[in-house]
């Protein structure tokens, strides 16, 4: 296969992955808008209301290394289809749990949904598999931009279906998730990504996991992605609870989350260009500054305008920090190390996000006497993590050594 042919295939794969991000990715806004509200409806203890969202991310964390190994040995398509099956089972269990009023069954459904979330996380890596080094940041950005459509579809599905099967709330939305997965799985049969060849016994095996973690570029890339994703999840998970708790409607929460997800993905149209022009370190730093600004706006008040602006800034900050961290990571490993580091990275990222999701409900519902106090606690919790990521990035710029 010539270089020109491989790049044409790479661009076609990106189009398929953009469509998958748009259609299949719509289930994630649905899950995050309704997860805390459904948890609050089913759980006897409001402090556990965001546990379903935490378990989605926990399921993603647990399966990330497994999914990475499956894709390394059997190809991307196999891993993505397994992810869709997890999404179908998770939504079916969640719908059944709402029907019979079982919080524990709803939690089990959340774990299965995490399998889908894990596979979706590899869309961005799959986009780079056949791409040239110059096209890789753009490929990652375009695939992430597919979330722009999911940001519109997902919350609108919530608004159309949440009360469709009254008096059982939210059940219609979870049945809609099943339909999204059934339709979206067909896209993966248009992917053309060769399964990596098994290396010969005498071929270089790459660095061990510990050696990879000693690479300053890999370490800072992982910290940047972990902090950007976990802080976004920390605040976004509690947003529907805060919005409704402050006297607004579920539809307001859906609209705010929709604007947030739009803000997460709209910058993807140019994030890759910005990274190529200004350098990945500057874009990550800008993302951290914008995340801090989101917290400041949230702390300034609980009017609808504050919620909208804070969540928009939160989405933009996540985009720059997470895409920047992903781009930095892809430039720091060899093909032999790909499955090892990508699985390890997503295990760490989603492990941190699991903690953030679980903490979000505790901070929101158990740290004070009102939704306003809980919302303040959530946003104050961002500070130490921003300091960690900012300090690591500054250290890398001054002392770190990039791979060549």
DSSP string, 360-404: HHHHHHHSSSSHHHHHHHHHHTHHHHHHHHHHHHHHHHHH-----
Q: Token pair 């708790």 is at which residue?
A: 245
Given a contact cutoff of 8 angstroms between Cβ atoms, the answer to whether 76 and 372 are in contact is no
> For residue 403, is pLDDT > 60?
no
Element holding 7 (H helix, E strand): helix 3-23
Asked whether residue 73 carries a pLDDT value surpassing 70, the answer given is yes
Whether residue 58 has pLDDT greater than 90: no
Measured N-to-C along each axis, helices 3-23 and 171-184 cross at an angle, to the nearest 10 degrees, of: 160
* CB contact at 8 A, 260 and 314: yes
Q: How many helices (H) and strands (E) does the chain have?
A: 18, 0
> Domains of the chain (ranges plus CATH)?
3-188+208-399 (1.20.1250.20)
pLDDT of residue 206: 74
Element (H, E) at 128: none
Count of residues in the chain? 404
Distance (Å, rounded) from C-alpha 284 to C-alpha 272? 12
Report the predicted TM-score, pTM, of the whole model to 2 decimal places: 0.74
> What are the tens digits of pLDDT across the range 292-323?
999 999 999 999 999 999 999 999 999 999 99
Q: How far apart are CA 190 and CA 121, in angstroms?
A: 19
Neighbours of 229 (CB within 10 A): 22
């Amino acid at each position: 296969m010539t270089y020109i042919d491989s790049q044409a295939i790479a661009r076609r794969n990106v189009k398929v992955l953009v469509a998958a991000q748009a259609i299949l990715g719509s289930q994630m806004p649905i899950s995050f808008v309704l997860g805390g509200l459904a948890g609050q409806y089913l759980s006897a203890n409001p402090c556990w209301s965001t546990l379903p969202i935490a378990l989605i991310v926990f399921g993603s964390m647990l399966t990330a290394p497994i999914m990475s190994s499956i894709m390394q040995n059997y190809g991307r398509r196999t891993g993505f289809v397994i992810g869709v099956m997890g999404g179908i089972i998770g939504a079916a269990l969640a719908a059944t749990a709402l029907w019979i009023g079982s919080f524990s069954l709803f939690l089990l459904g959340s774990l299965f949904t995490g399998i889908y979330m894990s596979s979706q996380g590899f869309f961005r890596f799959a986009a780079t598999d056949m791409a040239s080094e110059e096209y890789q940041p753009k490929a990652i950005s375009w695939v992430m931009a597919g979330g722009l459509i999911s940001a519109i579809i997902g919350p609108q599905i919530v608004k159309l279906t949440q009360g469709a099967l009254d008096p059982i709330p939210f059940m219609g939305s979870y049945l809609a998730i099943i339909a999204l997965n059934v339709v979206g799985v067909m896209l993966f049969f248009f992917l053309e990504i060769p399964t990596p060849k098994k290396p010969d016994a005498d071929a270089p095996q790459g660095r061990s996991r510990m050696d990879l973690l000693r690479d300053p570029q890999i370490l800072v890339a992982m910290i940047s992605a972990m902090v950007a994703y976990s802080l976004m999840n920390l605040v976004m998970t509690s947003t529907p609870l805060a919005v409704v708790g402050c006297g607004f409607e579920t539809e307001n929460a859906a609209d705010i989350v929709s604007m947030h997800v739009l803000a997460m993905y709209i910058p993807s149209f140019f994030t890759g260009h910005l990274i190529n022009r200004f350098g990945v370190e500057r874009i990550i730093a800008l993302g951290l500054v914008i995340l801090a600004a989101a917290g400041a706006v949230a702390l300034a008040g609980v009017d609808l305008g504050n919620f909208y602006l804070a969540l928009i800034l939160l989405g933009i900050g996540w985009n720059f920090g997470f895409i920047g961290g992903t781009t930095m990571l892809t430039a720091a490993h060899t093909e032999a190390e790909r499955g090892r580091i990508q699985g390890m990275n997503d295990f760490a990222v989603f492990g941190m996000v699991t903690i953030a999701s679980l903490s979000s409900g505790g901070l929101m519902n158990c740290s004070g006497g009102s939704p306003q106090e809980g919302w303040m606690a959530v946003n104050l919790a961002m500070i130490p993590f921003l300091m960690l990521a900012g300090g690591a990035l500054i250290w890398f710029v001054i002392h770190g050594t990039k791979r060549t």
